[in-house]
Structure 1
Amino acid sequence: MAENSTSAREAAYTEGVPCWVDAQLADVEAGKRFYGDLFGWSFQPSYGGTVWAYHEGEPVAALAQKADGRLPTVWTVYFATPDAEALAGRIRAAGGQVVTAPVPVGELGVAALVTDAEGAVFGLWQPGTHAGFGLRHEPGAFVWAELYTRDTAAANAFYGGLFHEALFGPGAEPDVGRAPLTDIFPAEMPPHFLVHFGVEDCEATLTEVNRLGGRIQAGPFDTSYGTVAVVTDGQGASFAVLQR
């Protein structure tokens, strides 16, 4: 269901809830063609040359131009927080690192990039005028983020300490899972978050991924939260598609 009002979004995105995703791409126009065809997204310019993706008229993701070609081509998940500076300090204290210190994104909010204690990168988002996804948990929108890690117990302790209420509090419906790095990934693959987008038909979506110049990395395979396949777009950004 679309969350149409800003106040509803703010209420939904309490600290520790995934509230936004973006892809850092070398060619944003190519990204628009790929994801527009795959998910039916439309696009509008946003802050600093970033484009926002819309599904059913609601914002669901952003595509951004990589500032440096040496940076990874990657999807990043952002966790909501009322105070990015304070959360960044708690992340440091818990053994994580701050990659990019909190910085204002116009009037939209404040963003930061951080890592957990094993090096998995994720974002922080302190809302201004932009609270987060206008649509989620549906085909064509964000539905899940899976943390692939070498030590699930340590990850549970790290994120449980930071985001206990979002993960374990009363009424919590976390959009994040933890799983060990396994043989579906190359041995050199570092711990990372994998963004999942909802689809109605996983097999049909994989056919489209191939047609559009992407690649299937793994799957489809069954999980406790649905049928999943891991793919890359035509530029190498990995993501997953999930059929509930």
Structure 2
Amino acid sequence: MAAQPEGTPCWADAMFPDVEAAKSFYGDVLGWTFGEAATEFGSYTQAYADGRAVAAVVPPMPGQEGPAGWCLYLASDDAVATAEKIRANGGETLMDPMRVDGFGTMVLARDPGGVLFGVWQAGTHEGFGAQRVPGAYCWSEVFTRDPEKSDAFFPAVFPYEVVKLEDEHVDFRLYNLGDRTAMGRMRMGEDFPPEMSPFLNVYFTVADCDAAVARATERGGVLRFGPMSMPFGRFAALTDPQGAVFSVIDIDTTEGEPPRMTPA
């Protein structure tokens, strides 16, 4: 069985051409410390916040070099069955179910609009050791130019209920699991460069959004949006020096009332 309910975001990792530079950047911005590189697993290196595993970084495998980027993994109790549903609903599996020793089974995939994501069937590695504390995962959103495809695809693969934000100026949805929200979905508008691929944006918790942005930009990161306060926290979108997109959010600094959501 899955360590968490099917479709729950449960882990995040990123591939970097320069892992040591990534460790230095995220160590400064998010306060991460790092374990020893697992050479038997391609130098996969876990990141820790206050001693608890929160993410991992890894260099590209020879012949598979590409741009840096974060990948979010969604929980599954049967990775093989989930991969079949991905393909049956117009998605693409980039890596078919692969058992990673006793840690679990992984899949890498894209939705029909090109959004990269992972699937994780837990073994001994159940996922995030902490969430919603400084340095740890907090939230995620699918950014896509084909929202109708994503809104059809993800609930067909995972047991999501889709609800929409009542705002004529923003095309935003939530993917809910019962009374819990798994992640959001945002339409990419004209403010996104046309060469920018659809992506799944990962938010990491920080104690002070503005201070985190200052640390990131001082170390070569680029501020893309914010900082901005909202009912769920103060957040900013960034690109790290190697081009990976991520966001930071201070969940204790809020402003305004939560928006009204209705079934899509």
TM-score w.r.t. structure 2 length?
Answer: 0.82
CA distance in 1, matches of 2:116, 2:59: 18
CA distance in 1, matches of 2:148, 2:230: 19
Contact 1:75 1:239 in 2 (8 A): yes
Q: Is 1:57–2:51 an aligned residue pair?
A: yes
1:170 to 170, 178, 186: 178
Give the aligned residue type for 1:52. Answer: Q
Residue 229 of structure 1, CA deviation: 1.3
How many residue pairs get matched? 234
Contact 1:26 1:69 in 2 (8 A): no
Identity of aligned residues (%): 39
Between 199-208 and 64-73, the greater mean CA deviation after superposition: 64-73
For 2:141, the equivalent position in structure 1 comes to 146
CA distance in 1, matches of 2:212, 2:143: 23
Give the aligned residue type for 2:55. Answer: A
CA distance change for structure 1 residues 200 and 175 in 2, over 3 Å: closer, same or farther?
farther
For 2:154, the equivalent position in structure 1 comes to 159
Between 44-53 and 150-159, the greater mean CA deviation after superposition: 150-159
Q: What SS class does the counterpart of residue 35 from structure 2 fall into?
A: strand
Contact 1:202 1:243 in 2 (8 A): yes
Q: Is 1:26–2:21 an aligned residue pair?
A: no
CA distance in 2, matches of 1:195, 1:35: 14
CA distance in 2, matches of 1:208, 1:92: 41
CA distance change for structure 1 residues 144 and 168 in 2, over 3 Å: closer, same or farther?
closer
Contact 2:6 2:159 in 1 (8 A): no
Cα deviation code 1:123-143 (max 9, x no counterpart): 011111101001012221100
CA distance change for structure 1 residues 175 and 143 in 2, over 3 Å: closer, same or farther?
farther
CA distance in 2, matches of 1:113, 1:164: 19
- As a proportion of its length, which structure holds more helix? 1
Residue 175 of structure 1, CA deviation: 3.4
Equivalences for 1:88-103 in 2 at 5 Å?
Answer: 88-103=83-98
Contact 1:96 1:114 in 2 (8 A): yes
Between 159-168 and 178-187, the greater mean CA deviation after superposition: 159-168
For 1:117, the equivalent position in structure 2 comes to 112
Cα deviation code 1:174-217 (max 9, x no counterpart): 23100110244212222210111111211111110012221112
CA distance change for structure 1 residues 66 and 157 in 2, over 3 Å: closer, same or farther?
same
Give the aligned residue type for 2:52. Answer: E
1:40 to 31, 56, 61: 31
Higher radius of gyration, 1 or 2: 2
Residue ranges of structure 1 left out of the alignment (5+ in a row): 1-6
Residue 235 of structure 1, CA deviation: 1.4
Stretches (4+) displaced over 4 A: none
Residue 95 of structure 1, CA deviation: 0.5
Contact 1:24 1:74 in 2 (8 A): yes
For 1:3, the equivalent position in structure 2 comes to none
